[in-house]
Amino acid sequence: KQEVTQIPAALSVPEGENLVLNCSFTDSAIYNLQWFRQDPGKGLTSLLLIQSSQREQTSGRLNASLDKSSGRSTLYIAASQPGDSATYLCAVRIYNQGGKLIFGQGTELSVKP
Amino acid sequence: EAGVAQSPRYKIIEKRQSVAFWCNPISGHATLYWYQQILGQGPKLLIQFQNNGVVDDSQLPKDRFSAERLKGVDSTLKIQPAKLEDSAVYLCASSLEGQPSYGYTFGSGTRLTVV
Protein backbone atom coordinates (compact mmCIF):
# COMPACT_ATOMS: atom_id res chain seq x y z
CA LYS A 1 0.00 0.00 0.00
CA GLN A 2 1.42 3.35 -1.05
CA GLU A 3 2.07 5.81 1.75
CA VAL A 4 3.29 9.38 1.33
CA THR A 5 4.95 11.29 4.15
CA GLN A 6 5.92 14.95 4.30
CA ILE A 7 8.47 16.44 6.66
CA PRO A 8 8.32 18.83 8.39
CA ALA A 9 4.63 19.26 9.19
CA ALA A 10 5.16 22.98 9.73
CA LEU A 11 7.96 25.40 8.97
CA SER A 12 8.49 29.07 9.81
CA VAL A 13 11.30 31.04 8.15
CA PRO A 14 12.27 34.70 7.76
CA GLU A 15 11.77 36.33 4.39
CA GLY A 16 14.62 35.77 1.93
CA GLU A 17 15.67 32.34 3.12
CA ASN A 18 16.04 29.38 0.81
CA LEU A 19 14.16 26.32 2.04
CA VAL A 20 13.53 22.66 1.27
CA LEU A 21 10.36 20.65 1.78
CA ASN A 22 10.61 16.87 1.83
CA CYS A 23 8.30 14.17 0.54
CA SER A 24 8.84 10.41 0.73
CA PHE A 25 6.79 7.53 -0.69
CA THR A 26 6.93 3.80 -0.07
CA ASP A 27 6.22 2.31 -3.53
CA SER A 28 8.32 3.40 -6.51
CA ALA A 29 5.70 2.20 -9.07
CA ILE A 30 4.44 5.68 -9.88
CA TYR A 31 3.54 7.54 -13.07
CA ASN A 32 4.53 10.90 -11.67
CA LEU A 33 4.74 13.12 -8.62
CA GLN A 34 2.99 16.45 -8.30
CA TRP A 35 3.54 19.33 -5.88
CA PHE A 36 0.54 21.47 -4.99
CA ARG A 37 0.01 24.66 -3.05
CA GLN A 38 -3.09 25.20 -0.93
CA ASP A 39 -4.04 28.55 0.57
CA PRO A 40 -6.34 28.57 3.61
CA GLY A 41 -9.89 27.68 2.64
CA LYS A 42 -8.97 27.23 -1.00
CA GLY A 43 -8.48 24.42 -3.49
CA LEU A 44 -5.20 23.02 -4.77
CA THR A 45 -2.98 24.81 -7.26
CA SER A 46 -0.51 22.65 -9.17
CA LEU A 47 3.06 23.90 -8.90
CA LEU A 48 5.23 21.26 -10.55
CA LEU A 49 4.72 17.86 -12.14
CA ILE A 50 7.64 15.44 -12.42
CA GLN A 51 7.28 12.34 -14.60
CA SER A 52 8.74 9.09 -13.28
CA SER A 53 11.49 9.26 -15.93
CA GLN A 54 12.54 12.78 -14.94
CA ARG A 55 14.89 13.95 -12.20
CA GLU A 56 13.70 17.51 -11.69
CA GLN A 57 11.44 20.32 -12.81
CA THR A 58 11.82 24.06 -12.36
CA SER A 59 9.38 26.95 -12.39
CA GLY A 60 10.61 30.37 -11.36
CA ARG A 61 11.90 30.20 -7.79
CA LEU A 62 10.68 26.61 -7.39
CA ASN A 63 12.67 23.47 -8.13
CA ALA A 64 11.39 19.96 -7.52
CA SER A 65 13.53 16.85 -7.66
CA LEU A 66 12.58 13.19 -7.81
CA ASP A 67 14.61 10.14 -6.81
CA LYS A 68 12.24 7.29 -7.60
CA SER A 69 14.58 4.54 -6.48
CA SER A 70 14.85 5.95 -2.97
CA GLY A 71 11.23 7.12 -2.87
CA ARG A 72 12.00 10.78 -2.27
CA SER A 73 11.18 14.18 -3.67
CA THR A 74 12.16 17.64 -2.53
CA LEU A 75 10.67 21.04 -3.27
CA TYR A 76 13.23 23.84 -3.12
CA ILE A 77 11.99 27.41 -2.75
CA ALA A 78 14.57 30.12 -3.35
CA ALA A 79 14.47 33.56 -1.77
CA SER A 80 11.21 32.95 0.09
CA GLN A 81 8.57 35.69 0.28
CA PRO A 82 5.59 36.23 2.63
CA GLY A 83 3.33 35.41 -0.33
CA ASP A 84 4.77 31.89 -0.33
CA SER A 85 3.00 31.21 2.98
CA ALA A 86 0.63 28.29 2.36
CA THR A 87 0.37 24.54 2.78
CA TYR A 88 2.42 22.52 0.29
CA LEU A 89 1.23 19.03 -0.62
CA CYS A 90 2.97 16.34 -2.60
CA ALA A 91 1.09 13.53 -4.30
CA VAL A 92 2.08 10.48 -6.31
CA ARG A 93 0.02 9.02 -9.15
CA ILE A 94 0.16 5.27 -8.86
CA TYR A 95 -0.01 2.42 -11.35
CA ASN A 96 -2.82 -0.04 -11.75
CA GLN A 97 -5.35 1.72 -9.56
CA GLY A 98 -6.93 4.00 -12.10
CA GLY A 99 -4.15 6.51 -11.69
CA LYS A 100 -5.43 7.97 -8.46
CA LEU A 101 -3.33 10.38 -6.44
CA ILE A 102 -2.04 9.52 -2.99
CA PHE A 103 -1.30 12.63 -0.94
CA GLY A 104 1.00 13.43 1.91
CA GLN A 105 -0.41 15.36 4.85
CA GLY A 106 1.25 18.60 3.79
CA THR A 107 3.81 21.06 5.12
CA GLU A 108 2.43 24.35 6.43
CA LEU A 109 4.89 27.10 5.51
CA SER A 110 4.96 30.52 7.11
CA VAL A 111 7.35 33.16 5.75
CA LYS A 112 7.77 36.07 8.15
CA PRO A 113 8.46 39.60 6.79
CA GLU B 1 -8.90 27.13 -20.67
CA ALA B 2 -11.56 27.33 -18.00
CA GLY B 3 -10.76 25.51 -14.77
CA VAL B 4 -12.71 22.96 -12.77
CA ALA B 5 -15.87 24.62 -11.44
CA GLN B 6 -17.42 23.65 -8.12
CA SER B 7 -20.42 24.88 -6.19
CA PRO B 8 -21.35 25.85 -3.60
CA ARG B 9 -18.16 27.23 -2.02
CA TYR B 10 -19.45 26.84 1.51
CA LYS B 11 -22.24 24.89 3.15
CA ILE B 12 -23.35 24.58 6.76
CA ILE B 13 -25.93 21.93 7.63
CA GLU B 14 -27.17 20.13 10.70
CA LYS B 15 -26.36 16.48 11.24
CA ARG B 16 -28.79 14.08 9.62
CA GLN B 17 -29.59 16.60 6.87
CA SER B 18 -28.68 15.99 3.25
CA VAL B 19 -26.39 18.01 1.00
CA ALA B 20 -25.25 17.93 -2.62
CA PHE B 21 -22.16 19.29 -4.34
CA TRP B 22 -21.72 20.00 -8.04
CA CYS B 23 -18.64 19.82 -10.26
CA ASN B 24 -18.01 20.75 -13.89
CA PRO B 25 -14.61 19.47 -15.12
CA ILE B 26 -12.36 20.95 -17.76
CA SER B 27 -13.77 20.46 -21.22
CA GLY B 28 -12.43 17.27 -22.78
CA HIS B 29 -11.32 15.71 -19.50
CA ALA B 30 -12.94 12.30 -19.37
CA THR B 31 -11.67 11.41 -15.91
CA LEU B 32 -13.24 13.06 -12.86
CA TYR B 33 -12.39 12.58 -9.20
CA TRP B 34 -13.97 13.54 -5.89
CA TYR B 35 -11.61 13.91 -2.92
CA GLN B 36 -12.36 14.54 0.74
CA GLN B 37 -9.92 16.66 2.76
CA ILE B 38 -10.34 16.70 6.50
CA LEU B 39 -8.67 19.61 8.30
CA GLY B 40 -4.93 19.02 8.73
CA GLN B 41 -4.81 16.04 6.38
CA GLY B 42 -4.08 15.43 2.72
CA PRO B 43 -7.00 14.79 0.36
CA LYS B 44 -8.29 11.22 0.06
CA LEU B 45 -10.04 9.81 -2.99
CA LEU B 46 -13.75 9.11 -2.62
CA ILE B 47 -14.68 8.17 -6.18
CA GLN B 48 -13.23 8.22 -9.69
CA PHE B 49 -15.23 8.33 -12.93
CA GLN B 50 -14.08 7.58 -16.44
CA ASN B 51 -16.68 9.24 -18.67
CA ASN B 52 -19.88 8.25 -16.85
CA GLY B 53 -18.60 4.94 -15.47
CA VAL B 54 -17.18 4.38 -11.98
CA VAL B 55 -13.51 3.28 -11.92
CA ASP B 56 -12.89 3.32 -8.16
CA ASP B 57 -15.35 3.91 -5.32
CA SER B 58 -13.67 1.66 -2.77
CA GLN B 59 -13.30 4.50 -0.24
CA LEU B 60 -16.80 5.93 -0.67
CA PRO B 61 -19.05 5.35 2.40
CA LYS B 62 -21.88 4.01 0.32
CA ASP B 63 -24.37 3.90 3.16
CA ARG B 64 -24.52 7.70 3.09
CA PHE B 65 -22.54 8.98 0.11
CA SER B 66 -23.56 8.73 -3.53
CA ALA B 67 -22.20 10.24 -6.72
CA GLU B 68 -23.19 10.32 -10.33
CA ARG B 69 -21.83 11.68 -13.56
CA LEU B 70 -24.58 11.91 -16.10
CA LYS B 71 -23.58 12.20 -19.78
CA GLY B 72 -19.93 11.97 -18.78
CA VAL B 73 -19.56 15.68 -18.00
CA ASP B 74 -20.91 17.27 -14.79
CA SER B 75 -20.96 15.35 -11.55
CA THR B 76 -22.82 15.57 -8.26
CA LEU B 77 -21.78 14.18 -4.88
CA LYS B 78 -24.49 13.71 -2.27
CA ILE B 79 -24.39 12.99 1.45
CA GLN B 80 -27.53 11.71 3.15
CA PRO B 81 -27.71 11.76 6.12
CA ALA B 82 -24.69 13.85 7.10
CA LYS B 83 -22.61 13.15 10.20
CA LEU B 84 -20.37 15.47 12.18
CA GLU B 85 -17.27 13.66 10.84
CA ASP B 86 -18.25 14.58 7.28
CA SER B 87 -17.09 18.14 7.95
CA ALA B 88 -14.34 18.61 5.38
CA VAL B 89 -13.43 20.23 2.10
CA TYR B 90 -14.73 18.30 -0.90
CA LEU B 91 -12.49 18.71 -3.91
CA CYS B 92 -13.28 17.84 -7.49
CA ALA B 93 -10.49 17.25 -10.01
CA SER B 94 -10.22 16.19 -13.62
CA SER B 95 -7.54 14.84 -15.96
CA LEU B 96 -7.18 13.73 -19.58
CA GLU B 97 -8.41 10.24 -20.41
CA GLY B 98 -5.68 7.72 -20.92
CA GLN B 99 -3.01 10.23 -20.09
CA PRO B 100 -1.61 9.28 -16.71
CA SER B 101 1.45 11.35 -17.49
CA TYR B 102 -0.72 14.44 -17.25
CA GLY B 103 -1.36 16.04 -13.93
CA TYR B 104 -4.63 16.75 -12.23
CA THR B 105 -6.47 20.07 -12.16
CA PHE B 106 -8.45 20.75 -8.99
CA GLY B 107 -11.41 22.99 -8.37
CA SER B 108 -11.62 25.45 -5.48
CA GLY B 109 -13.52 22.96 -3.33
CA THR B 110 -16.66 23.05 -1.21
CA ARG B 111 -16.17 23.52 2.51
CA LEU B 112 -18.82 21.56 4.41
CA THR B 113 -19.51 22.15 8.09
CA VAL B 114 -21.88 19.75 9.85
CA VAL B 115 -23.17 21.03 13.19
**What count of other Cβ atoms lies within 10 Å of the Cβ of residue A90?**
31
Q: Is A44 on the interface with B (CB under 8 A)?
A: yes
Min Cα distance A31 → chain B (Å) is 6
The C-alpha angle with vertex A86 and arms to A68 and A105, in degrees rounded to 5, equals: 45
Give the pLDDT band (50/70/90) at residue B101: low
Alpha helix (H) ranges present in chain A?
A: none
Question: What is the per-residue pLDDT for B71?
Answer: 83
- Beta carbons of A43 and B44 less than 8 Å apart: no
Residues A1-41 have pLDDT tens digits of: 889 999 999 999 999 999 999 999 998 888 899 999 999 87
- Who among A4, A34, A98 is closest to B103 (CB)? A34
Residues of A in contact with B91 (CB under 8 A): 43-44
Q: Would the pLDDT of A96 be above 70?
A: no
Low-confidence winner among A14-23, A69-78, B31-40, B96-105 (lowest mean pLDDT) = B96-105
Average pLDDT over residues A74-100: 90
Phi, psi of A99 (to 5 degrees): 75, 25
Q: End-to-end CA distance of chain A, in Å? A: 41
Distances (CA, A) of A18 to A58, A79, A80, A84, A109: 15, 5, 6, 12, 12
Which residue on chain A is closest to B35 by alpha carbon? A101
Question: What's the number of CA atoms in the CB half-sphere (13 Å) around residue A32?
Answer: 17
Distances (CA, A) of B35 to A18, A92, B71, B73, B104: 32, 15, 21, 17, 12
